[in-house]
């Protein structure tokens, strides 16, 4: 267990030193994953709600795909985005490969299914209660969707957390499309992978502890905001 | 079925050499060899912690330190391979014409053409830094500009070099087995400073009771025997011999205390 | 205060007469409404009576477009009902209130139809006042007492001041004075030209409010006649027993 | 886009050939991840329900930790499990390192927070409706937990899917504790990572397509079972 | 059929008398029950009356141990109420039914208390029969009509055959004959020694069933007296107005 206490003190030390290289990496991690989770929510929340509310041919298949896509392997997503963004790929002219933008794109692909699938289930459960009533009041499908998203907003947050967790923690996709380039596309997880490669497990663990602490801070902040809003609204 | 655990580097594993050697060894002894392919640093760490029975890596300084600290008890030279410099077909730095690796690096730095470094403290990375120091270029000052530290394994670094049309230095084995080449091509080879010695080290059974010392020694002995050496020489990729056996002398030994 | 027909455009699809023809609704192999045919023309109060499980709610739901018939048709002035029609409102026996204030629940209904924002305040105040909710307009709807929720349920249906209101047991949980208030409101609404179709288990209420009575039993229309005739000399023994408060044991399905 | 059609035909070819090496890898992937998801559910479902229903000092902190732990980096989890199972670690004597068991342990650590956090939210939402009624009927807290888990079982499945998705797709943890040993601990994701490293992007993508197809089949099977059961029960 | 006191061990905590002393309940700054003190001793039917929002449901909830008093005490034979007590059951104004069959809903209640498995069938059949649900015992509870749900709600409270039943508007959604059936059931239950405390908005029902009346208004206990006295010559003007069905405009808080 010595390893762990060493790692903890190392983590503490790194944080106290406020090492600028570390701050840069933390900043990029947060920037990439928060942007990705925002975009994924903008797509996934209405998508999930629509799949819960609209009946159309082939919906079952899309839902199954969505549930399965919660298990998209990061490396595969990374490869696909790589092929699309690479110089010889269809979007090669944009020159996005090995930039933070490419990392955001890959993470959006990874987590949109998670946000959408979890949103679908939450809206489906709420719909049980609300559907008939809203319909009787004259709400059209699109309005019903908005109303349900709003009424369940506190519950939906948990799905968004799950998406954020996946984004901030994954390494396979960002490594391939970002390249873990020092001072350019190195984020916490790729840095951890690098230290692990080097066999510096202590440093890798210390970085891991810092990453988890950051996740904890972000989630706690959002949770308290949610709690305050919830108290206010009831 | 009996087996030993061998920790080695990804570049060795990527080349396919071990997949070629192990069945031969198994055929002879009935012992399987399970390969954990990781970075040099972690390969040694696995041995230190007793998670591998035997280590096959290629960074002599670290290997000797490993023996010194008593983590390993017997190091033998096995073979060497070499590094090559690859880059875009157009070769903007014109390194194809030069004879010395350091010169090639200098040309790259002169036109500031993108260069991808492993940047992971691996044996390959250290060799690359040695070459940069020979050119007199302070390479760190360009980090994040044209000199890019990928902090990744050889394969991942080649993937990035391809994606960015950049130069990089690779061991020949990984390069030959690497498929995602597109515009990437071999531009420089065969300079003695690029040679790369491999050593095999037995993990100290005194430190870990469960270490399969006897079986591991069988493998080490076989690999350095005439039969093993011949097998290494026989292994080719795309018609080229990748590894050159040179197990004639023992570099360092220490009897179990 | 009541200015029916000025709030939203209600001209597009007609209202009365309501013509139901051979309506049949089945679920999971159970025939729940069986060949119901009836016509409602006059602009007053129609009350649907019948024992628990007779199909009263189902009939109202179908009339609001909430249940698709398995057979037969429902036409409001020759148009099929759609729940979105603003000229018709519906209240559930078991309402679901949004997790927001009483006032915001009413605002929500207005926002579903294109009502002028400037009319919101006056419409909401009118509905709150008429249902006795003005004092607790800012309380969260989900913590209201049973009777208060029911008042909000009615306010929500009335806030748009529609041409037709379908009310499923609107006073079941109201206190006597609350019931009286709602009955007076229903009368006023009806007098101003809004058609009321409602269910109730309070025979006294049916007596007080109804112009005509629809009597259902086990999914079948047993009688549809004027309230006077129904209560004085109902044609069927079933109806007479029902009025007398006796258990209806005849099984129509056998 | 040529890359993709090549990858598809390669995937098809691999499947048709029923390559025994591939089958072995697929089998191990499924065995490890399904076992992990079962264990994570056995822990995570009651844990999530308990956090939704029991009030105790420090619950807020545990919930925040759980939400943050949805973002546990696989590499870090891998390292921690490695240090514990390593010969020099506290459980070294068990000799579990580089075995499928080690991979299961690592995946359980990764996905239990996901299953628990999503369960908590679902039970919390249902509790709104049921709590008072069940209490009035005389249900004690432990019984209430069981009842709510049962009443929401169809919704909880989505959280379990999210866990399965994470498990079957992750590579960082299984690579470290499993070692990607051919014929012993190689699973789909580590095989994909290996081919990517070799630059054989076509084969990597083909394996990725097969992996996603397998996820799709598993999720579809469970979904149809759920659908049938749901129809039967309502 | 009724064999009260034999099902589960009810001896541990007493039942009557119910003694409420200075009970005060406030939520979000609103005083909802204000210094209510009363004692109920006799084993018959007590009915709580009052306008919507008076605090009737709150009082019953508190008596079942579902609301913790902010001040004052509630004692059943000197014991504080706990919802787990099997000797007392409670029905909500708005019941939540489990997503399973009618029968399974009753089984569930039995399983919450240690009832012998061999008694399940007879207890369930009795409860189904007495509430008129035998025919639809296998239907999913969530698709029942409003009245059927209410019958199940009552059956669920009765299946354990408890010593005390607290009923919040048990007949609000029942048809006349259903109401009559439940009223007769309540009478029988009471005669066999089960204490009934219930709320209703049906004054006729209160008249028919009650031995004594508790009259609440704005969270205050206005009268607690025998039914006879209450309906013939109530002491307070509030009560007389309430009985007359008039709106109670006095505001006690000012
Ligand atoms: N959690 C709460 N927060 C705020 N106010 C509440 C809360 N619960 C109940 N109330 C208020 O307390 C008052 C009494 O409620 P209660 O349900 O006891 O009324 P009631 O006498 O049963 O009325 P009804 O006949 O309509 O059922 C109501 O005005 C209600 O709005
Ligand atoms: N989705 C459904 N599946 C099966 N049976 C249903 C469904 N919906 C309603 N029923 C049944 O249809 C019958 C009629 O229901 P409905 O709600 O119309 O009765 P009602 O006349 O309104 O009764 P109440 O006075 O109790 O409200 C009931 O027996 C009910 O159980
Ligand atoms: Mg009904
Ligand atoms: Mg009440």
Residue E84 has pLDDT above 90, yes or no: no
Q: How far is B34 from chain D (nearest CA, A)?
A: 6
Which 3 state secondary structure label does DSSP give E115?
Answer: coil
Q: Which helix (H) or strand (E) holds D123?
A: helix D100-137
Q: State what percent of residues in chain B have pLDDT above 90.
A: 56
**How many interchain CB pairs under 8 A, A with B?**
79
Residue B119 pLDDT: 87
List pLDDT tens digits, range A107-131. Answer: 999 999 999 999 999 999 899 889 9
Whether omega for the bond prior to residue C247 falls within 30 degrees of 0, making it cis, is no
Residue C251 has pLDDT above 70, yes or no: no
Rounded Cα gap, residues C232 and D94, in angstroms? 90
Residue A36 has pLDDT above 90, yes or no: yes
**How many residues would you count in chain B?**
257
Q: Is the CB of residue E83 below 6 angstroms from any atom belonging to ligand 1?
A: no
How much is the mean pLDDT over chain B?
89
Query: Residues whose CB is under 5 A from ligand 4 (ion)?
Result: C 145-146; E 57, 93
Which 3 state secondary structure label does DSSP give E159?
Answer: coil
Residue E247 pLDDT: 66
Q: How far is C144 from chain A (nearest CA, A)?
A: 12
With contact defined as 3+ CB pairs under 8 Å, the chains touching E are C, D
Which of A71-80, A168-177, B220-229, E7-16 is predicted with the least confidence, judged by mean pLDDT?
E7-16
| Ligand 2 atom, smallest distance to C58 CA | 18
Contacting residues of D for A165, CB less than 8 Å apart: 67-72, 114
Which of A210-214, B129-133, B247-251, D32-36 is predicted with the least confidence, judged by mean pLDDT?
B247-251
C18 sits in the region (left: phi over 0; alpha: psi -120 to 50; else beta) called beta
Quote the tokens at residue E47.
């009915």
Rounded Cα gap, residues A118 and A224, in angstroms? 21
Q: Residue B76: what are its φ and ψ, rounded to 5°? A: -130, 140
Rounded Cα gap, residues B219 and E16, in angstroms? 87
The CA radius of gyration of chain A, in Å to the nearest whole number, is 20
Q: Which residues of E touch C (CB under 8 A)?
A: 27, 50-54, 57, 93-94, 136, 143-148, 150-151, 168-169, 172-181, 201, 203, 242, 245-248
In this prediction, residues D189-204 reach a mean pLDDT of 88
Q: Is the CB of residue E162 below 6 angstroms from any atom belonging to ligand 1?
A: no
Residue A69 has pLDDT above 80, yes or no: yes
Residue of A128, E66, A169, A118 lying closest to D120 (CA atoms)? A118
Q: How far is A152 from chain D (nearest CA, A)?
A: 9
What's the CA-to-centroid distance between A127 and ligand 4, angstroms? 26
Contact (Cβ atoms closer than 8 angstroms) between residue C214 and residue C46: yes
Buried-exposed string C194-216: b where 16+ CB fall within 10 A, e elsewhere:
bbbbbbbbbbebbeebbbbbbbb
Residue C252 pLDDT: 59
How much is the mean pLDDT over chain E?
86
In this prediction, residues D100-116 reach a mean pLDDT of 96
Residues 173-212 of D with CB under 8 A from A: 176, 188-189, 192-193, 196, 201, 204-205, 208-209, 211-212
Q: Report the Cα–Cα distance between both ends of chain D, in Å, rounded.
A: 47
ipTM of the complex model:
0.84
Q: Using the Cα atoms of residue D192, residue D194, residue D197 and residue D198 in order, give the sign of their dihedral.
A: negative
Query: Do E and B count as touching (3 or more CB pairs closer than 8 A)?
Result: no
List pLDDT tens digits, range C202-231. Answer: 888 999 999 999 999 999 999 999 999 998
Q: Is the CB of residue C153 below 6 angstroms from any atom belonging to ligand 1?
A: no
In this prediction, residues C152-181 reach a mean pLDDT of 88
Which residue's CA is minimally distant from atom 31 of ligand 1?
C144
Rounded Cα gap, residues E96 and D129, in angstroms? 7
Residue A200 pLDDT: 85
List pLDDT tens digits, range E14-60. Answer: 577 899 999 999 988 888 999 999 999 888 899 999 988 899 999 99
Contact (Cβ atoms closer than 8 angstroms) between residue B60 and residue B175: no
Residue C250 has pLDDT above 70, yes or no: no
Residue of C178, C197, C209, C155 lying closest to C56 (CA atoms)? C197
Residue D1 pLDDT: 56
Which residue's CA is minimally distant from atom 27 of ligand 2?
E146
Residue of D nearest to A201 (CA): D79
Q: Is the CB of residue E144 below 6 angstroms from any atom belonging to ligand 2?
A: yes
In this prediction, residues D16-44 reach a mean pLDDT of 93
In this prediction, residues A148-163 reach a mean pLDDT of 92
Sheet holding E18-27, edge to edge: E30-40, E18-27, E71-76
Rounded Cα gap, residues C70 and C81, in angstroms? 15
Quote the tokens at residue C119.
């009319």
Residue E14 pLDDT: 58
D177 part of contact set with chain B, CB < 8 Å = no
Residue B253 pLDDT: 43
Residue C183 has pLDDT above 60, yes or no: yes
Give me the helices (H) in B188-225, please. Answer: 213-224
Sheet holding C30-40, edge to edge: C30-40, C18-27, C71-76
Residue D48 has pLDDT above 90, yes or no: yes
List pLDDT tens digits, range B111-152. Answer: 999 999 998 888 889 889 999 998 988 998 988 889 998 888
pTM above 0.80, yes or no: yes
From D135, D139, D234, residue closest to E99, measured CB to CB: D234
Q: Is the CB of residue E145 below 6 angstroms from any atom belonging to ligand 2?
A: yes
Provide the β-strand partners of residue E101: E140
Residue B37 has pLDDT above 60, yes or no: yes
């Amino acid at each position: 267990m010595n390893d762990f206490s060493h790692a903890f003190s190392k983590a503490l030390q790194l944080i106290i030193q406020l090492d600028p290289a570390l701050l840069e990496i933390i900043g990029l991690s947060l920037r990439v994953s928060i942007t990705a989770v925002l975009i994924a929510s903008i797509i996934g929340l209405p998508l999930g709600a629509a799949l819960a509310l609209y009946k159309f041919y082939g919906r079952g298949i899309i839902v199954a795909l969505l549930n399965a896509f919660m298990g998209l392997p990061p490396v595969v997503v990374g490869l696909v985005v790589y092929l699309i963004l690479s110089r010889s790929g269809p979007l090669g002219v944009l020159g996005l490969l090995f930039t933070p933008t490419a990392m955001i794109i890959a993470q959006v692909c990874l987590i949109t299914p998670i946000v959408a699938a979890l949103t679908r289930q939450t809206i489906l459960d709420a719909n049980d209660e609300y559907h008939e009533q809203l319909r009787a009041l004259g709400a059209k499908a699109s309005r019903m969707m908005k109303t349900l998203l709003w009424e369940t907003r506190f519950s939906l947050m948990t799905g968004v957390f799950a998406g954020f967790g996946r984004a901030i923690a994954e390494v396979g996709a960002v490594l391939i499309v970002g390249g873990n380039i020092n001072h350019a596309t190195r984020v916490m997880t790729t840095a951890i992978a690098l230290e692990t490669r080097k066999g510096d497990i202590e440093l890798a663990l210390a970085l891991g502890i810092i990453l988890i602490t950051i996740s904890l801070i972000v989630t706690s902040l959002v949770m308290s905001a949610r709690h305050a809003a919830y108290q206010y609204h009831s | 079925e009996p087996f030993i655990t061998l920790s080695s580097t990804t570049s060795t594993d990527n080349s396919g050499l071990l997949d070629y050697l192990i069945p031969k060894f198994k055929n002879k002894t009935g012992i399987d060899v399970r390969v954990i392919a990781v970075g040099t640093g972690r390969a040694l760490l696995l041995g230190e912690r007793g998670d591998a029975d035997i280590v096959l890596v290629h960074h002599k300084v670290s290997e000797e330190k490993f023996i010194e600290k008593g983590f390993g008890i017997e190091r033998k030279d096995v073979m060497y391979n070499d590094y090559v410099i690859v880059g875009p077909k157009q070769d903007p730095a014109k390194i194809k014409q030069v004879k010395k690796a350091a010169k090639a690096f200098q040309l790259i730095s002169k036109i500031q053409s993108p260069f991808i470094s492993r940047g992971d403290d691996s044996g390959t990375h250290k060799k690359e830094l040695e070459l940069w120091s020979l050119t007199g270029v302070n390479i760190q000052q360009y980090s994040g500009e044209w000199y890019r530290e990928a902090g990744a394994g050889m394969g991942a670094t080649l993937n990035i070099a391809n994606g960015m049309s950049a130069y990089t230095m690779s061991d020949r084995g990984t390069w030959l087995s690497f498929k995602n080449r597109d515009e990437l091509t071999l531009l420089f080879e065969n300079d003695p400073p690029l040679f790369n010695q491999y050593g095999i080290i037995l993990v100290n059974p005194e430190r870990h009771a469960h270490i399969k010392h006897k079986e591991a020694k069988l493998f080490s002995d076989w690999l350095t025997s005439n039969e093993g050496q011949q097998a290494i020489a026989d292994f080719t990729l795309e018609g080229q011999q990748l590894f050159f056996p040179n197990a004639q002398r023992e570099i360092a030994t220490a009897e179990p205390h | 205060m009541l200015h029916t027909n000025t709030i939203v455009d209600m001209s597009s699809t007609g209202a009365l007469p309501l013509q139901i023809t051979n309506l049949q609704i089945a679920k999971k192999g159970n025939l729940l409404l069986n060949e119901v045919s009836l016509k409602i023309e006059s602009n007053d109060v129609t009350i649907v009576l019948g024992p628990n499980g007779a199909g009263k709610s189902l009939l109202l739901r179908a009339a609001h477009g909430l249940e698709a018939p398995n057979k037969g048709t429902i036409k409001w002035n020759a148009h099929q009902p759609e729940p979105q029609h603003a000229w018709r409102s519906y209240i559930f026996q078991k309402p679901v209130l949004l997790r927001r204030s009483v006032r915001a629940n009413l605002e929500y209904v207005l926002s579903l139809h294109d009502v002028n924002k400037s009319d919101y305040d006056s419409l909401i105040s009118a509905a709150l006042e008429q249902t006795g909710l003005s004092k607790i307009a800012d309380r969260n709807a989900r913590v209201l007492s049973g009777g208060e929720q029911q008042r909000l349920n009615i306010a929500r249906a009335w806030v748009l001041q529609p041409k037709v209101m379908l009310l499923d047991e609107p006073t079941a949980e109201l206190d006597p004075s609350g019931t009286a208030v709602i009955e007076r409101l229903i009368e006023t609404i009806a007098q101003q030209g809004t058609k009321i179709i409602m269910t109730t288990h309070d025979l006294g209420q049916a007596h007080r409010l109804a112009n005509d009575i629809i009597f259902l039993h086990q999914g079948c229309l047993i009688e549809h006649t004027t309230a006077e005739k129904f209560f004085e000399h109902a044609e069927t023994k079933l109806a007479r027993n029902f009025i007398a408060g006796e258990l209806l044991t005849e099984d129509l399905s056998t």
